[in-house]
Amino acid sequence: MPASTQNKPALSRLRRSILSVPAANARALEKVPGLDSDGFIFDLEDSVAPEKKAEARDHLRVFFERQDVKGRETVIRINPLDTDWGHADMELVIEASPDAVLIPKVERVAQIQEVADLLSEAGAPDELAIWAMIETPRGVINAPTLAGVDERLKCFVVGLNDLRKATGVLPQTGRAYLVPWLMQIVLAGRAYGIDVIDSVFNDFKDMAGFEAECAQGRAMGFSGKMLIHPNQIEATNAHFGPDPDAVREAEAIVAAFALPEAQSLNVINLDGKMVERLHLEEAQKLLDLAHIIAERKKTS
């Protein structure tokens, strides 16, 4: 059934850094548990040659049986269901039970609904989420409709390589001609309470360019960034993580609203600034995020 038009509850998962790992690369899979990425997309689609698809599924089957990623999010990117490999990929998803399944090149409601139906028919837990790649012109145009289609849908992931190819937009610093489309995807996701992950940065040796794009993505409202190399993780976590000054301000807001005289107030004066209860909600969400990060550092 379609999701309600009401916003979904705020998410509590860390999604600053989402590293893409080719499922055909056994060596790359072995390194995953030691990496500090918030999540991992195990790719069965673009990075895997047709003759390697079955082998890649076998690698993932072994990985999910043996490896412990210590609470980080696991996502399997499948091939489209109308290909020769899509349904075999879904059988693996149901068997391995990752945190989410990522559907590539989503343009139509039916693509999400078909995956949701397969999960439900197989008795997959409600917590097994759906993520959707938005990487085509139709995907961008239809993002507002796609965002509200099913309660399992928790995240959009932007794919700019395919979108540039389809539109002819050149890969330029600053992404000026892409920003309107990117903001449209962010707005659609936020309207339904789902996270939105920024696209990959292709030149993993250009750290200055990468960090500039991280800063831009954070300013635009993205939850995090999809990565192609482990050396991008640390910078991504820093850019999309809570700023120390923002954490201190959030603590002050929460403390101010906790005072007895503020209990019945919707607006308070804090150091000469008007602060509303909506700011309190934002502050608490930021502190929750900071707490999750601190707790994970203790266990890593």
Same domain for 162 and 149: yes
For 279, other C-beta atoms within 10 Å of its C-beta total 20
Which residue is listed with tokens 């990623």?
A: 69
Q: What is the pLDDT of residue 10?
A: 42
Same domain for 210 and 294: no
Same domain for 226 and 286: no
Q: What is the pLDDT of residue 15?
A: 96
Same domain for 248 and 100: no
Question: What are 146-164's pLDDT values in tens digits?
Answer: 999 999 999 999 999 999 9
6 located within any domain: no
Same domain for 226 and 109: yes
For the stretch 203-215, what's the b/e string if a residue is b when 16 or more beta carbons lie within 10 angstroms of its beta carbon? eeeeeeebbebbe
In single-letter form, the type of residue at position 64 comes to F
Helices (H), 148-203: 160-167, 179-191
Task: Indicate the number of domains in the chain.
Answer: 2
Q: Are 32 and 73 in contact (CB under 8 A)?
A: no
Same domain for 115 and 37: yes
Q: What is the pLDDT of residue 298?
A: 72
- Specify the 3-state DSSP secondary structure of 279: helix
Please give the residue range of the domain that contains residue 227: 17-240
Bridge partners of residue 130, in order along the sequence: 101, 153
12 located within any domain: no
Confidence bin at 289 (pLDDT 50/70/90):
confident
The DSSP secondary-structure symbol of 243 reads P
Model pTM?
Answer: 0.89
Last residue of a domain, one of 222, 240, 258: 240
Question: What are 231-263's pLDDT values in tens digits?
Answer: 999 999 999 999 889 999 999 999 999 999 988
Q: Are 270 and 250 in contact (CB under 8 A)?
A: no
Same domain for 182 and 142: yes
Higher pLDDT: 56 or 69? It is: 56
- CA gap 13, 238 in Å, rounded: 16
214: left (phi over 0), alpha (psi -120 to 50) or beta: alpha
